[in-house]
Amino acid sequence: MVVIDSDIKPRYKRPKRRKVFQYKRANWENIKKKLLETSKKVGEYTDAEASWTALKQGISECLDLEIPSKLTSKRHNLPWLGRKLINRIRKKHKLFQKAKQSQKKEDWDKYRLHKSSTQRDIRRAHWEYVNKTLTDSLEQGNNKSFWKYIKSKRTDSIGIAGL
Q: Which residue type does 30 have?
A: N
pLDDT along the chain (163 residues), means of 10: 72 79 92 91 87 91 91 78 93 96 95 96 93 87 81 68 55
pLDDT of residue 158: 61
Evaluated on CA atoms 150, 68, 13, 84, the torsion sign reads negative
Specify the pTM.
Answer: 0.51
pLDDT of residue 7: 65
